[in-house]
Structure 1
Amino acid sequence: MSTMKRFFHHFTLRLIALFSALLLWFYIAVERNYETKLSLPLRLVNIPDHLIPTTPIPHFVTAIISGKGKEILLLHFASAELLLNGESAVIGLCRLPLNNRTVSLSVQTDVRILSIKNPVELLLPFDAKISKPIRVIPSLTLSSKRGYTLIGTPILVPETVTVIGPRRLVAEMSDLQTLPVQATGLTHDTTFSVPVRIPDLFGIEIMPARVNLHIAAGALVKHRLDNVPIRLIDAPPDSGWALNVNTLSFTIVGTQEEIDAVRPERINAYVSYTRFRIEQQTEIEPTISLLGNVEWSNLEPKTVHLVKQH
């Protein structure tokens, strides 16, 4: 065997021996019993269903634990928590001791809790847990594309959510808002799933946490209306005055559904006799009242005036 081959042969044997020694050391280390200090997350459990804490508990608690090295090591990988038994809680300020009788581990393990070092007890206020339906108000910035329009009022489904939490906080709540929604260039009906803004209050839960927002949009349609009756109002019965025209023509703009719903007899077109007297004008633009979001333009005639009846 050459010198180089003997070198690599001996080097390989040494590596195998070293690796075997490390494995043996690790096995002995993890099988040995240890007593150590460990900081773990704390969670409150077994609280009576009708109660809820009104302030947060510490995120982490320092405990003295005992067990085999491998079991302690597994606590980290299993995301173990310390569970504080809250079954003795009542309304008001409660003293909850932290020790090996009231605190347990959240995972199945042979590790034992010897004591809790910090904190050793909690002074925690509790209140009655109540639920209440609360109205949701959308926070919206909406616009349609040119030639289109938004139709009606956006609809939330559901319109209310259930708020669960401490009685003192829930009783004072009147409404909630969604997170801001901004939608531009809308051309058709659209639905968004929107989160409800959760108040910055401890112990508040909202169900459901999201609502559906339905926004209706559609194309604008133009339609010409002729022979729409116009009235003179507020004129004294014996004044002898009348308008110079009996009907008007104008263009209406809206969605197809809105246009189809417009009837000449349901249009309120008028001029007030009082305006002629107060404004001292001989020609006045008529007032036209339409239902819904329908708009009008291109009025003919643009103005009217008074004429004396014979």
Structure 2
Amino acid sequence: MSLNFKRAFTENIAAKLVALFVALFIWFSASGQQQASRFFVAPVKLVNTPDSLVIVGAYPEEAEITISGTKRELLYLSFRRIEIVVNLAAATPGRFRQRLSASNVVVRGGLDPRNVQIITPSSIDLFFERLSTKSVPVDLTVIGSVPTGYVLAESPKIEPTVITIKGAATAVARQKSIPTKPLDLGRVRESFEREIEIDYDGTVFRCEPDRVTVSITVSELGERVLPNIPPTVLFDAEQYVAEVYPSAVSLTLAGLKTVLDTLSSGDVSILLDVSDKPPGRYTLVPDVIVPKGIGSYSLSEDSITVIVRKGTARGNQ
């Protein structure tokens, strides 16, 4: 019995496999012709927007539809791009409404509109404004400060300093300037040049260019003492002579290390102005003139004494 049962499966195996495949093909073909409906979510594509107009606000970016057809047709649609195309050629400033129908559904290879039903939304509502262009200055947005021991040697530089914005007329009119993305100075210990993006809402307007080049010059801070600097007395040397006590002072300077490293006593001035004073003894707080890049300074003496008397330098020789 078992032998006969086994022989029934193994005899004429090729013919039996062919018959099985034919039966399966007929079954698939028959089931593929059965009618069905399928749900799709398709992107909304806006075309032919007038060059002088811009869309303001949000709008549906997808639509839900059902398509009827054979199961085979619906299977093919799964591998094709389906779009909801809205023609905006007739748009004018203000509100624009386009009711959606099967004619808005576009599928590569074609589709019978009678087999398509729009579920939602039933229409696309848009609001248009005139397109406007304006040039605005760029504001560098900086957060934090350079680490202790460092300083910005000069103000940050931006290139370009002015950019063009294009968008809805009302939004463009409100924009007086445009900021950059924040630049964090908290870890900056050396000078650099880099691009940084403009910080703006791309749904409101566009920026051209959309990034600028920022140059930051950083210097290490330092301290230096210049000893034995003789003060300079401002007076009428044709009528008077002046004596200074002490005759020299020390000047302690703090500032950019690059400036301090090349500094000499000839680059600073300690001034005592008695040009409008009669002969006498005066105790003055001097005026100190230092180069750019020096942040602070101090003198070894809080005040300096000047004695002015009649005579000339020649007469005292």
Normalised by the size of structure 1, how large is the TM-score?
0.70
Q: Where does residue 90 of structure 1 map in the other structure?
A: 92
Q: Which moved more, 1:57-66 or 1:69-78?
A: 69-78
Q: Where does residue 178 of structure 1 map in the other structure?
A: 180
Gaps of 5+ in 2: 275-281, 310-317
Q: After superposition, give the CA deviation of every residue in 1:110-160 in whole Å (9 maximum; x if it has no partner).
A: 334445343333332211112323322222235445554432122233333
Q: Which amino acid aligns with 2:130?
A: A
Q: Where does residue 300 of structure 2 map in the other structure?
A: 301
Secondary structure of residue in 2 paired with 1:171: helix
Secondary structure of residue in 1 paired with 2:251: strand
| CA distance in 2: counterparts of 1:268 and 1:71, whole angstroms | 93
Contact 1:241–1:306 (Cα < 8 Å) also in 2: no
Q: Where does residue 128 of structure 2 map in the other structure?
A: 126
The percent identity for this pair of structures is 22
Q: Where does residue 276 of structure 1 map in the other structure?
A: none
Q: After superposition, give the CA deviation of every residue in 1:201-242 in whole Å (9 maximum; x if it has no partner).
A: 843223333333322224445555456575679xxxx9x998
Contact 1:72–1:111 (Cα < 8 Å) also in 2: no
CA separation of 1:147/1:202 partners in 2, compared to 1, >3 Å: closer, same or farther?
closer
Shift of 1:58: 1.2
For residues 14-163 of structure 1, what are the structure 2 equivalents within 5 Å?
34-66=36-68, 69=71, 72-73=74-75, 75-78=77-80, 80-101=82-103, 103-105=104-106, 108-113=108-113, 114-144=116-146, 147-163=149-165
Q: CA RMSD in A?
A: 4.6
Q: Which amino acid aligns with 1:304?
A: S
CA separation of 1:31/1:190 partners in 2, compared to 1, >3 Å: closer, same or farther?
farther
Shift of 1:83: 1.7
| CA distance in 2: counterparts of 1:88 and 1:23, whole angstroms | 51
Q: Where does residue 187 of structure 1 map in the other structure?
A: 189
Contact 1:71–1:110 (Cα < 8 Å) also in 2: no
Q: Where does residue 216 of structure 1 map in the other structure?
A: 217
| CA distance in 2: counterparts of 1:151 and 1:95, whole angstroms | 58
Q: Which moved more, 1:120-129 or 1:68-77?
A: 68-77
Q: Which amino acid aligns with 2:111?
A: V
Q: Decide which structure has the larger Cα Rg and report it.
A: 2
Q: Which moved more, 1:161-170 or 1:140-149?
A: 140-149
Q: Which amino acid aligns with 1:122?
A: I
| CA distance in 2: counterparts of 1:191 and 1:134, whole angstroms | 22
CA separation of 1:185/1:65 partners in 2, compared to 1, >3 Å: closer, same or farther?
closer
| CA distance in 2: counterparts of 1:70 and 1:270, whole angstroms | 98
Shift of 1:108: 1.8
| CA distance in 2: counterparts of 1:228 and 1:24, whole angstroms | 110
Secondary structure of residue in 2 paired with 1:168: helix
